[in-house]
Amino acid sequence: MFYYVYLNFIGVAENQENKEVYSNRVRAGRRTYFFDIKVTRTDDYYLTITESRKKFKDEAYFYEKHKIFLYKEDLNRFLAALDDASKYIKERLIPEYDFDQFEQKDGEESSVS
């Protein structure tokens, strides 16, 4: 089954009129993941997942960002596919790996507006 997910590349601006109603940040080494729920002008909700990586070029730091926009009609299928893929990794590819060794409760942040 094919899932269409819109990927917003660097330099493509997001609509500034969409209001953020929830945000959760996950730090993972040099990467940070943002899970943001936004509402449109027509009171429709969608999720953006942003990967932000700090990079160094020409003697300056910058952030490279990649976004996935996930809409309500795709949410259940997306979550099911993500769950299936993570179970496949954990149960079949590397079952001996301790995925909980990097669990951080204090470093995780979430907010509700």
Domain of residue 31, CATH code = 3.10.450.700
Q: Is the pTM of this model over 0.75?
A: no
Residue 99 lies in a domain: no
Least confident span in 7-16, 51-60, 75-84, 97-106: 7-16
More confident residue, 47 or 60: 47
Model confidence at 112, in pLDDT bands (50, 70, 90)? low
Give the Å distances, CA to CA, from 12 to 7, 9, 29, 73, 91. Answer: 10, 6, 25, 24, 38
Domains in the chain, number: 1
Residue 30 lies in a domain: yes
Number of H helices, E strands in the chain: 1, 6
CA nearest to 5, candidates 61, 50, 54: 50
Residue 1 lies in a domain: no
Residue 101 lies in a domain: no
Range of the domain at 40: 6-94+107-112
Mean pLDDT, residues 10-16: 41
Q: Is residue 33 scored above 60 in pLDDT?
A: yes
Give the Å distances, CA to CA, from 65 to 13, 19, 33, 34. Answer: 11, 20, 10, 10
